[in-house]
Amino acid sequence: MIEYIPLLLFALVFVLILIGYPVALTLGGISVIAGIIFFDIDFFYLLSLRIYGIMNNFVLLAVPLFIFMGITLEKSGIAEKLLETMALMFGRIKGGLAISVIIVGAMLAASTGIVGATVVTMGLISLPTMLKRGYSPTLATGVIASSGTLGQIIPPSVVLVLLGSVLNVSVGNLFTSALFPGLILVFLYLLYIIIISLIYPKLAPSMPEKEIIKFHEETSFFQITKAFVFPFFLIGAVLGSIFAGIASPTEAAGIGALGAIILSKSNGGLKSKVLKEIMQETTHLTSTVFLILIGATSFSLVFRGLEGDKVLIDLITQANLSPNEFVILVLLIIFIAGFFIDFIEIIFIIVPVVVPIFVALEVDLIWVGILIAINLQTSFLTPPFGFSLFYLKSVAPKEVKTKDIYVGIIPFVLIQLIFLTILVIYPEIVSIFPKLLMK
């Protein structure tokens, strides 16, 4: 019976989190109590070494820098100007506004990496505009919620940085491997929008001709470039410096943060009040991430000290699960957990427990990281518990019902599930872009 104590601790953590106790304090508290009981006072010495290891992890410096970059683009109004410009550029196309939302949402999501912030921002910026232009509430909400979660897979992504740290793989390799699947997913979203707009044009009408003419008459080429090209150039500079081997992900995050400040200043959106809000929000989110990381590290130390990983390996061996079957089982557990807890907690609670088993089964950890990122994204979109749906509902106009959001997201969830299945069957898709870079 004693060998199942680590699994009981794991279950206790989930129960306490679902009851409503803070994640970081729950993990840390249970770890300290269990550590004193099973390992005596020496546990605190081991714990201090683990925490010192986190403090010395250069890769994790990318987290506050990427968060700062995304929040700066959001708060300074750059994302809003980009959306307005793109919407009018694609104005004559059926579904042009929805296409713009997908592209801008993907950019903002990738740079912010925080699902709630992106979905709320896109909901505030684009949902009233889409409804005003005659878009169906179901299509409009589906587009916004799905585009807001693209930051889970499209680099530069905070999710991938944290996954790289927990899986103990190169964040740069995760970025290069995630880019192609991320772009495929964006392409599938856009393809769905184009097809549905052609079949049901009333769901996604084109922009009024008068507004398009006025836009082209009053907007200079420089203004379009400023709103459209510069943000894309910033993302390209961050990713390009990583892919070319010029900068590490942490150094590239520094480039992104500095570039976001310069862009915001040039757009006149970096007032002292706004800068204060950006820094406060960055500090808050970063502190939350690292507090959970310390708690999760403590729990991981206790779990492995009690040989919980060996117990799991024995259970899987006895069940005769193949590596792929175990991967699918883990994805299913993470998918269900995503209904109840945020991605940060999932990455720091569940993933460290299963990493030794993946290593023992000789599973490609880069491939697993990409699968987990897409799986988390799907989980946050799936009714009735998807976090993104609640975030969007909190800022949606009164005429948008919960049913509209649930119905609107279903096609996008199906697209992601189909794509996730393809990645499980054909893992070589993940290595296409890294192989091209090596040539």
Helix, strand or coil, per DSSP, at residue 361 = coil
Token pair 């950890």 in the structure block, residue: 365
Residues 380/149, Cβ–Cβ less than 8 Å: yes
* Domain encompassing residue 50: 2-438
pLDDT at 112: 58
pLDDT at 383: 78
Residues 323/363, Cβ–Cβ less than 8 Å: yes
Residues 334/350, Cβ–Cβ less than 8 Å: yes
Range among 5-9, 179-183, 288-292 with highest mean pLDDT value = 179-183
97-153 pLDDT, tens digit each:
888 888 877 777 666 556 666 777 777 777 887 888 788 899 989 998 888 888 778
Number of separate domains in the chain? 1
Copy the structure tokens of residue 409.
């997201």
Residue 367 has pLDDT above 90, yes or no: yes
Residues 349/299, Cβ–Cβ less than 8 Å: yes
pLDDT at 117: 64
More confident residue, 188 or 17: 188
pLDDT at 309: 66
302-337 pLDDT, tens digit each:
877 777 767 766 776 677 778 888 889 889 888 877
The pLDDT of 260-282, averaged and rounded, is 82
DSSP state of 228: I
Q: What is the pTM of this model?
A: 0.77
The pLDDT of 408-428, averaged and rounded, is 92
pLDDT at 138: 92
Whole-number CA gyration radius for the chain: 22
More confident residue, 242 or 92: 242
How far is Cα 54 from Cα 61, in angstroms, rounded to an integer? 10
How far is Cα 50 from Cα 30, in angstroms, rounded to an integer? 16
211-238 pLDDT, tens digit each:
666 666 666 666 666 666 777 777 778 7
DSSP state of 225: I
pLDDT at 351: 86
Token pair 């990493």 in the structure block, residue: 355
Helix, strand or coil, per DSSP, at residue 381 = coil
pLDDT at 412: 93
Residues 416/377, Cβ–Cβ less than 8 Å: yes
Residue 82 has pLDDT above 80, yes or no: no
DSSP state of 4: G
pLDDT at 223: 66
Strands annotated E in 284-438: none
For residue 380, what are the CA distances in angstroms to 190, 248, 390?
Answer: 20, 30, 10
Q: State the average pLDDT for the chain.
A: 80
pLDDT at 423: 93
Range among 16-25, 143-152, 359-368 with highest mean pLDDT value = 359-368
